[in-house]
Amino acid sequence: MTRRKRVVGLDLGTSKVATVVGEADEFGNINIIGVGEAPTEGLRRGVVVNIEKTVGSITAAAQAAERMAGVRFDSVVVSLAGPHLSSQNSRGVIAVSRDSHEIGPDDVERVVDASRAVSVPSDREVVHVIPRTFTVDGQDGVKEAMGMTGTRLEVETHIVTGAQTSIQNVIKCVHQAGFDVDDVVGQGLASGLAVLSSNEMELGVCLIDIGAGTTDVVVFSEGSGLHLAVLAVGGNHVTSDIAIGLRTTLTEAETLKLNYGHTLAEVIPGEERIEVREVGGERVQEVPRRFLAEIIGPRVREIFQMAREEVRKSGYDGLLPAGVVVTGGGARLLGTIDAAQGVFDSSVRLGLPAGFGGLSDRVSGPSFATAVGLVRWGAQLGAAPGNGRHNGNGHGHGNGNGNLTTAYSKTVRWLRDFF
């Protein structure tokens, strides 16, 4: 009989909280069995600004997912966003300890631990230490070092850090909603697991996840992330531009953006008109739809220009054969892919969650990329009850202050199983 493990992904977005319940079997197949959403005003640019409202949104989204799935759950894999997240690559080196010189789990743990010896300010925490590749006695490109024979073991790791208070506030909100935290995962990394293929990650690809308040940019190459950045700009900034430019409310601006918005003014017929309700009155004015696109286009191109600058910082500009993948709620805007192609001068595609069964049609849109990726992350890492969960102080395997053995074994297993 096939054993199934239940994993719950909780995506804390600026505009909404999404909960996805999945069941994974021992072969890595995942069925989606429940989905829940709830609007939120408790987060701004991915960071908690109102605990009470955030807790209420988490509770509402979780209850909706439980009703659909017909099951109850007590722990989640939660997303972490915000411009406070940053990353760096590090190297560690050790001498293999066994007399036989066979590399064991303890050697892998020690070399990953050695790579953690980077300067991190006291107000920041390590969120992820992901081994990218190992080198055994000068032989580089080793994906799985355990079992090999050698005297010198090196590792290159990708280290993601975040602001201590922001991480702890996220965990506090989840706890107050009545759930344990199995792991805390950078939003961009989670989205990558949902929408990218292993071939794209191996060749080299840039993932751009456009949310309401922030945009995550992650550069993948040789099978894993090597550069992560979070831009403090997203879909809400486009909405705000529309509200200012057309002198209307934010609610009306959001509706106009979703129903009539486009990033390319030149493709809109000059005679096409839209109705806009002005602020503070019943007056409705007619404006050219092209005017709406002229407001949207520059902001969207600015987002992609900022994303390309991050790719330049990674040193991989022009070295990503798999091109660019755009996902997130902001990717639903018409013309987004065309705008990205214009900036990157590269192949660009829309990233949609793929490779899931069950109620996969309920999470097929780009706005569910992070929540679905969290489910896959939890399934890959094998987070189990009582094993490395975060306590109320936010200390656990995900941020580097708690069960370090669990952290290393999980990251190594993630590298081995997924790539």
The pLDDT > 90 percentage for the chain reads 77
- Tell me: the pLDDT tens digits for 140-183? 889 888 999 999 999 999 999 999 999 999 999 999 999 999 99
Taking the C-alpha atoms of residue 67 and residue 22, their distance in angstroms, rounded to an integer, is 14
Is residue 326 one of the residues assigned to a domain? yes
Is residue 17 one of the residues assigned to a domain? no
The DSSP-derived string for 359-381 is: SGGGG-SGGGHHHHHHHHHHHHH
Question: Are residue 158 and residue 204 in the same domain, yes or no?
Answer: no
The answer to whether 214 and 233 have CB atoms below 8 angstroms apart is yes
Question: Are residue 208 and residue 322 in the same domain, yes or no?
Answer: yes
Task: Report the mean per-residue pLDDT for the chain.
Answer: 88
Question: Are residue 134 and residue 226 in the same domain, yes or no?
Answer: no
Nearest alpha-carbon partner for 371 in 196, 173, 214, 185 = 185
- End of a domain among 298, 327, 350? 350
Which three-class secondary structure string do you get for 287-345?
EEHHHHHHHHHHHHHHHHHHHHHHHHHHCCCCCCCCCEEEECHHHHCECHHHHHHHHHC
pLDDT band at 257 (very low <50, low <70, confident <90, very high): very high
- End of a domain among 163, 189, 215? 163
Taking the C-alpha atoms of residue 412 and residue 185, their distance in angstroms, rounded to an integer, is 16
Lowest mean pLDDT among 45-54, 85-94, 116-125, 218-227: 116-125
- For position 397, what pLDDT does the model report? 36
Is residue 207 one of the residues assigned to a domain? yes
Question: Are residue 216 and residue 309 in the same domain, yes or no?
Answer: yes
Question: Are residue 148 and residue 205 in the same domain, yes or no?
Answer: no
- The gap from C-alpha 226 to its chain's centroid, in whole angstroms, comes to 14
Question: Are residue 224 and residue 298 in the same domain, yes or no?
Answer: yes
Question: Are residue 201 and residue 345 in the same domain, yes or no?
Answer: yes
- For position 412, what pLDDT does the model report? 39
- For position 281, what pLDDT does the model report? 67
| 46 pLDDT above the threshold of 50 | yes
Nearest alpha-carbon partner for 292 in 325, 347, 245 = 245
In this structure, the strands spanning 30-39 and 16-25 are: antiparallel
pLDDT band at 392 (very low <50, low <70, confident <90, very high): very low
The 3-state DSSP class for residue 242 equals helix
- Distant-in-sequence, close-in-space partners of 245: CB < 8 Å, separation ≥ 6: 291, 295
Question: Are residue 324 and residue 206 in the same domain, yes or no?
Answer: yes
- Distant-in-sequence, close-in-space partners of 16: CB < 8 Å, separation ≥ 6: 37, 38, 39, 40, 57, 61, 212, 367
Nearest alpha-carbon partner for 23 in 60, 61, 64, 70 = 70
Question: Are residue 329 and residue 207 in the same domain, yes or no?
Answer: yes
Question: Are residue 205 and residue 277 in the same domain, yes or no?
Answer: yes
- For position 2, what pLDDT does the model report? 60
- For position 399, what pLDDT does the model report? 34
| 75 pLDDT above the threshold of 60 | yes
| 252 pLDDT above the threshold of 70 | yes
pLDDT band at 119 (very low <50, low <70, confident <90, very high): confident
Backbone angles phi, psi at 163, to 5 degrees: -70, 130
The answer to whether 17 and 382 have CB atoms below 8 angstroms apart is no
Question: Are residue 137 and residue 263 in the same domain, yes or no?
Answer: no
Q: Which residues form the domain of 318?
A: 197-350
Is residue 344 one of the residues assigned to a domain? yes
The answer to whether 330 and 295 have CB atoms below 8 angstroms apart is no
Question: Are residue 105 and residue 246 in the same domain, yes or no?
Answer: no
- Tell me: the pLDDT tens digits for 340-367? 999 998 999 999 999 999 999 999 999 9
Is residue 401 one of the residues assigned to a domain? no
- Tell me: the pLDDT tens digits for 314-336? 999 989 999 999 999 999 999 99
Tell me the average pLDDT across 378-396: 46
- The total of structural domains in the chain comes to 2
- For position 1, what pLDDT does the model report? 52
The answer to whether 230 and 188 have CB atoms below 8 angstroms apart is yes
Residue 233 sits in a domain whose CATH number is: 3.30.420.40
Burial label, 147 (beta-carbon count in 10 A; 0-12, 13-18, 19+): exposed
- End of a domain among 312, 335, 350? 350
Is residue 263 one of the residues assigned to a domain? yes
Q: What is the dihedral of CA 262, 268, 273, 276, to 10 degrees?
A: 20
Residue 150 to residues 94, 95, 115, 146, 276: CA-CA distances in angstroms? Answer: 11, 9, 19, 10, 70
Is residue 74 one of the residues assigned to a domain? no
The 3-state DSSP class for residue 83 equals coil
Which has the higher per-residue pLDDT, 195 or 119? 195
- Distant-in-sequence, close-in-space partners of 380: CB < 8 Å, separation ≥ 6: 28, 193, 413, 414, 417, 418
| 191 pLDDT above the threshold of 80 | yes
Residue 120 sits in a domain whose CATH number is: 3.30.1490.110
| 102 pLDDT above the threshold of 60 | yes
- For position 395, what pLDDT does the model report? 32
| pTM to 2 decimal places | 0.88
pLDDT band at 416 (very low <50, low <70, confident <90, very high): very low
Is residue 314 one of the residues assigned to a domain? yes
335-358 burial string, b = 16+ CB within 10 Å, else e?
bbbebbbbbbebebbebbbeebeb
